[in-house]
Amino acid sequence: MLYDRFLGGVDDIVAVRVGTIADAVEHAQTYRPDLVLLDMCLPDGDGFDFLRWFRTQRVHAHVPVIVITHDPTTQTRRRALVNGATDFLEKPVDPVELVCRIHNLLELGHSRSELAGKADWLASEVQRATSDIRLREQETVYRLSRAAEFRDPETGMHLVRMALFCEVIAQAYGADRDVTEMIFLAAPMHDVGKVGTPDDVLLKPSRHTPEEAYIMREHARMGHDILKNSTSPLLQMAADIALTHHEKFDGSGYPYGMAGETIPLAGRITALADVYDALTSRRIYKPAWSPQDALGEIRFGSGIHFDPKVVAAFEEALPEIAAIRERHFDTPGPSIVLTA
């Protein structure tokens, strides 16, 4: 009742008095006070019990609490502060000091709320801007992939299937969500360097001569040159994939003869996904292999062409890979747009 009299004449404060810890908990579960005056002498328990509970409620985590007590000892003050008190007043309370402290803490709380609101707004703006950048990156990826696809006879649903294969293999391998998504988005750019391959080599229906094979292999380096030095992590990964998707685990691949885990994970995964889809797809120079025959070839290449750990992840993902092939089979006509 004493605090009611102190605060009753203050125009901008509405005081709600509760007499017990139980009433205080019930009120705090329904409403969010701007400030709490906590008298430690309560009829149904220690005021510290309420203070500890109050601070466990996320919605009340930053609400100021002024502890009022007869005990002025350092131990009690420390106990109050450790348990989450914002300020401390000793009885008998000076009404002018009480109102001044309440006003100061309310003003501080309102300023904090405004800052939190601005921080939330800035965070949402950053998230929106980041999302816009991400969408533009994905569009860049798609258009670069399409540029290579228009020059490559291996069109149809190859890019879609291969990207999805890479995604499920990366998941089975244990790559985290961000890496898995980035591999999915970057893998379709693996052959972007073919835009620099002469038509008479790229479109030749018969076996390449050694000189033509060398020119063909240069698409890995050219793809890397197109994509390298970007500030975008997505395009950085795409550059790695373009450069390394023809490297082999035993070091016999090209263009640099990289071996083992010196080949980036994205390149190792893309290499397997690309070969598997090529084996199980019809080409002008060969019929499609059966999934079982293609699996046998992948197993044969484990430790030679492919990372054995990636092969194991591929085998774990085979049911999903079969479902992807069933959903995204080759049909005549324009290619399907790849989206995340």
- The DSSP code sequence of 162-216 is HHHHHHHHHHHHT--HHHHHHHHHHGGGTTGGGGGS-HHHHT--SPPPHHHHHHH
| Alpha-carbon 79 to chain mean position | 41
Catalytic residue among 91, 194, 204, 286: 194
Is 194 annotated in the active site? yes
Cβ atoms 69, 44 nearer than 8 A: no
Cβ atoms 50, 57 nearer than 8 A: no
**Rounded Cα distance, 146 and 289, in Å:** 26
**Helix/strand/coil percent split, the chain, to 5:** 60, 5, 30
Size of the chain, expressed as the number of residues it contains = 340
Written as one letter, the residue type at 66 is I
Q: What is the DSSP letter of 337?
A: P
Long-range contacts of 146-153 (CB under 8 A, 24+ apart): 146/335, 147/192, 147/195, 148/189, 148/191, 148/192, 148/193, 148/194, 148/195, 148/223, 149/335, 151/194, 151/195, 151/197, 151/199, 151/202, 152/191, 152/194, 152/202, 153/202, 153/203, 153/283, 153/284
Cβ atoms 280, 289 nearer than 8 A: yes
**Rounded Cα distance, 258 and 253, in Å:** 7
Q: Which residues are catalytic?
A: 194
